[in-house]
Chains A and B, each alone.
Chain A
């Protein structure tokens, strides 16, 4: 299980790493309001896919749980959990919380 601050830390850490890889220093200064996807966002669809793939592995390492962040429920929500860093942290906590005990 992850607390909300721990989940946000994972997201921001991964965004910073992606920022270094993609040459986007703005991502290294990301906070919970940073837009991940959309017109004014820092990531394109490829970057978002990379972020999610990396984060799923980060979560597995941190918790031992095999999670799928982009499931049907998440993709069909009115407010996308991938819109902002903080929403993604909320989504990670909710996804782990909804899983049956290991």
Chain B
């Protein structure tokens, strides 16, 4: 039975990804910052702050201790904030880097080692269409996700010889709690810009992400954006 680790499974896209993989027969381990009482068969939750490398190492060791190998890591945990660049509080910028970039880095590094030991594995980092759009009002968020994309490309090159495939999937606004704070008008404008005027449901986002994550021909280092974008 294949095993996936997904970060940010307490709600939203992470929870939906876990549900879909469980339905397909996967064992799913989920990291969320707060303890998660959700416990369907095949799902194992751990309370982990992905920005804390010691906590990540300990949690991953708990998964692999019995000899289990992680087939798929989805670095989904993320934070978002909209602020005019010149008014962005430094604490907000630091938190976005800590959760979005460093959280991805720590999980990729720790799970990457376990995958190198298995000489195989697949890692999907979640990014955003706001990067190629250079979206105004999201400078700190976009920068943190651009770092995730750069990490994806370098990691793919470094770890390909050991059998790992690493790619990123960029989503637009998805109907989750993360986008609740954004006004309807800016969301509509953004959805229009990416050619998805009706927006994106969680189910559509899951289809798109897992369609790439489980694609046997997924190109190493590739970045796939949902919407009208040329392949990156």
Contacts and interface: CB of A to CB of B under 8 A. Distances in A.
A and B co-occur in one complex: yes
Interface of A: 46, 49-50, 53-54, 56-57, 60, 66, 68
A66 B61 contact: yes
Contacts of A53: 113-114, 116-117
Contacts of A68: 57
Contacts of B158: 46, 49
Interface residues of B, number: 11
7 contacts: A46-B158, A46-B162, A53-B114, A53-B117, A57-B64, A57-B114, A57-B117
Contacts of B58: 66
B161 interface: yes
B161 A46 contact: yes
A21 to B, nearest CB: 8
B57 A50 contact: no
Interface string B116-149: 1100000000000000000000000000000000
Contacts of B116: 49-50, 53-54
Interface of B: 57-58, 61, 64, 113-114, 116-117, 158, 161-162
A53 B162 CA distance: 11
A60 B61 contact: yes
A95 to B, nearest CB: 14
Nearest to A44: B161
Contacts of B117: 53-54, 57
Nearest to A60: B61
Enumerate the 4 nearest inter-chain pairs by beta-carbon distance, A residue then B residue, closest first.
Answer: A53-B113, A53-B116, A46-B161, A66-B61
Nearest to A46: B161
A22 B116 CA distance: 14
Contacts of A57: 64, 113-114, 117
B56 to A, nearest CB: 11
Nearest to B54: A66
A60 B60 CA distance: 13
Contacts of B161: 46
Contacts of A50: 116, 162
B113 A56 contact: yes
